[in-house]
Structure 1
């Protein structure tokens, strides 16, 4: 059974890793490409954490900055449910704001999303209809952060180049999203999605998410030392508005033993120490 989309080149890729470097993957069917990309982008390691600096630039060159810490924890085995906790640190007007996701792999089941607004001392549930709206005023969307269920799209392998497998992903329910389809460029060696191109009808490219830099992050997996090539810089560009948002990732760690209780509503108002370090 297919699970959660591994075709998101944003913060989810940061906390997924892709394990030890491997030889190029060839001769796979489209479903297997999607499954392996899903695993590589989102499910390596049992948990992950990192700091993110996000620079938002509008079409006149004016900038705004957001800084936050993200925690990710897998729930169960076999690439199923996950939990995310995002704590904003800067600037002062968003400090202590929290975005939390309980991601559900089962087809047809919507994720649970919460937003804590400290200025109002208000916990707000984010409706499924809001998942394709701006994340903290950036060019990334809520769905970019927590992933898109691959059962929501039809997948087609368009071509294979020297560097990429190129997949076309068409929504099964066109009225539920603003795009007609998107192309995902998978790195042939790792199957990490390194570029997404979103199109509106008729064949109009309007949004791009792209990996700009990857680094190898060392971690422990039980008694074994592993290396996770990890996205450390990415960008989302809105071609309609001329704006762009760049994310830079640092202080990245894997397999830290994050507890399930950290991803509960009680910590929305009082973030755990793991998110404050």
Structure 2
């Protein structure tokens, strides 16, 4: 009788454990991200193609209004040619760019989500995946799991995006993505993003080194986090076109 009970418990555990769906996994990640209200982080971005190396430095300000609305301001410090160039993102259709050389702020098309971020191998949509993996347009299927990871296959209905499908690996313990493969509309794998270094900073699991490998042109971009502060009390009104035109960002 005891053996029967043990077998029944084991079967029940297996059924419950494997009853997680792909959407359940994305929701788990989204809930984990929601713990952070706002943050300020400093990054170095290094792009390598052949013998050519480009390095940039920028500060990003994030504010999470709701689980689906994340505002961001990115201001560049280096190189000198990009100093104070500032981007404000308040959704796919509300993107502003401040150009200090002309002292003007202009609204740019939502199609910019496919544009290269600072000339790197990341697009603006890729950058969003670092802090907002769930999207209402995503359809996620749990293809397999092991002791350490969930493996998702993700499709979407947004024809404006460069990628058609994603294969994403989610760390069960950390509850964040650690590896993503991108497939274009022809079904070809063309880019890999590897969250290669993850650290626990003040209770948050944070990717501190993210590498994008472009399989098409054999270039590589690294984003390295130099510093980060969480829950500093950034107000929503800070994220405005008027803010990004100022020489010093204050809130």
How big is the shift at 1:145? 2.4
Structure 1 residue runs of 5 or longer lacking an equivalent are: 1-24, 104-109, 219-226
How big is the shift at 1:99? 0.9
Please list, as runs of the form range in 1=range in 2, the aligned pairs for 1:134-149 lying within 5 A after superposition.
134-147=116-129
CA-based RMSD of the aligned residues comes to: 2.1
Query: Which residue, out of 106, 115, 118, partners 2:100?
Result: 118
- Distance in 1, matches of 2:96 and 2:160, equals 21
Structure having the larger proportion of residues in helix: 2
Residues matched between the structures, number? 232
Give the secondary structure class of the aligned counterpart of 2:81. coil
Structure having greater relative contact order (Cα 8 Å, sep ≥ 6): 1
Give the secondary structure class of the aligned counterpart of 1:151. coil
Deviations 1:114-165 (A, max 9, x none): 1111112232222122211101101110112235762223211111123211
Query: Which residue, out of 16, 26, 38, partners 1:47?
Result: 38
Say whether residues 1:248 and 2:236 are aligned partners: no
Say whether residues 1:88 and 2:79 are aligned partners: no
How big is the shift at 1:189? 1.2
Larger radius of gyration: 2
Query: Which residue, out of 99, 102, 110, partners 2:90?
Result: 102
- Distance in 2, matches of 1:102 and 1:267, equals 13
Structure 2 residue runs of 5 or longer lacking an equivalent are: 1-15
Give the secondary structure class of the aligned counterpart of 1:247. strand
TM-score scaled by structure 2?
0.85
TM-score scaled by structure 1?
0.77
Deviations 1:28-82 (A, max 9, x none): 2222111111232x42221111100000111x12100110011111215xx1322
CA contact 1:167–1:185 (8 Å) conserved in 2: yes
- Distance in 1, matches of 2:34 and 2:106, equals 27
